Amino acid sequence: MTAATSDYLIAPSILSADFARLGEEVDDVLASGADIVHFDVMDNHYVPNLTIGPMVCEALRRHGVTAPIDAHLMVKPVDRLIGDFIDAGASYVTFHPEASEHIDRSLQLIRDGGCKSGLVFNPATPLSFLDHVMDKVDMILLMSVNPGFGGQSFLPGTLDKLREARRRIDASGRDIRLEIDGGVKIDNIAEIARAGADTFVAGSAVFKASNPEDPHRYDGVIDDFRQALAGA
């Protein structure tokens, strides 16, 4: 079952935004119609890159961002940072099963803090990690690239994995979002939606606008995504 068009959520990854002007970048992409702020947290340990942490999440909240913030934790160990992101105002907190010694406990920590919980699957991570925790996840995030960097190409094998994840969600009868992250572009988003995704992370495809003074610079790309999804 694919999601209704109105249920599709677009989640720009701020990894590709201009960090020197982050507040404005987030304001402007939301004003252009994006639904969720995708917030990539990398620790130079679980993944070979280093990005931003809970202080920046909190700063965005203080700046006035009210949209959901989707904290994608690529860190190991993960439990302490789960607490920090709950305190910093995250809405979703997702983590990789390989980064937690006790997956069930980490998921519970997220929900106990009032956030929505999610598990993230690298291209080579099997969906069997879901077997005993379907009642504890609000989001399943499939990586369509190996995590660590923006601007990589979508791995086509992820389409079959999306279909399998969609089957699992439908069979569970639960309200679980299916998010895709990595290499999502205008020309492949419809096919990705048809495979079952309903939440779409896009970094380099969104934050490439030319004129930083134009607050509407992201209108075009968000509209193009919506149009492509309408045809899915």
What residue has token string 């002007």?
21
CA angle 162, 207, 46 (to 5 degrees): 55
Amino acid of residue 144: S
Q: Answer for the pair 184, 145: CB distance below 8 angstroms, yes or no.
A: no
Handedness of CA 208, 182, 68, 161 (dihedral sign): positive
Set 43, 84, 181, 198: catalytic member: 181
Residues 91-110 that bind ligand DX5 (CB under 6 A): none
In contact, 145 and 123? CB cutoff 8 Å? yes
**Site membership for ligand DX5, residue 16 (CB under 6 A):** yes
Among 201, 209, 221, 228, binds ligand DX5 (CB under 6 A): 201
Closest residue to Zn ion using C-beta atoms: 72
Pick the closer one to ligand DX5 by CB: 40 or 198. 40
* 137 neighbors 153 (Cβ within 8 angstroms): no
Residue 40 in contact with ligand DX5, rule: CB under 6 A: yes
Q: Which does 182 bind (CB under 5 to 8 A by kind): ligand DX5, Zn ion, none?
A: ligand DX5
95 is in an annotated binding site: no
**β partners of residue 140:** 119, 178
Sign of the alpha-carbon dihedral angle for 103, 106, 108, 114: negative
- Is residue 135 annotated as part of the catalytic site, yes or no? no
Query: What phi and psi, each to the nearest 5 degrees, are found at residue 50?
Result: -130, 125
Partner from ligand DX5, Zn ion, none binding residue 199, C-beta < 5-8 Å depending on class: none
Q: Which of 59, 129, 148, 226 touches ligand DX5 (CB under 6 A)?
A: 148
Residues with Cβ < 8 Å from 219, sequence gap 6 or more? Answer: 32, 33
Longest CA–CA separation in the chain, Å = 49
Q: Out of 43, 84, 181, 198, which residue is the one contacting Zn ion (CB under 5 A)?
A: 181
Let me know if 181 is a catalytic residue: yes
Ligand-binding site membership of 118 (annotated): no
Should residue 122 be labelled a site residue for ligand DX5 when binding is judged by CB under 6 A?
A: no
What's the N-to-C CA distance of the chain in angstroms? 12
CB of 132 to ligand DX5, least distance (A): 25
Active site residues: 40, 181
Annotated binding site for a divalent metal cation: 38, 40, 72, 181
The footprint of ligand DX5 (CB under 6 A) covers 13, 15-16, 38, 40, 72, 145, 147-148, 150-152, 181-184, 201-205
Q: Which residues bind Zn ion (CB under 5 A)?
A: 40, 72, 181
Query: Residues within the annotated binding site?
Result: 13, 38, 40, 72, 148-151, 181-183, 203-204
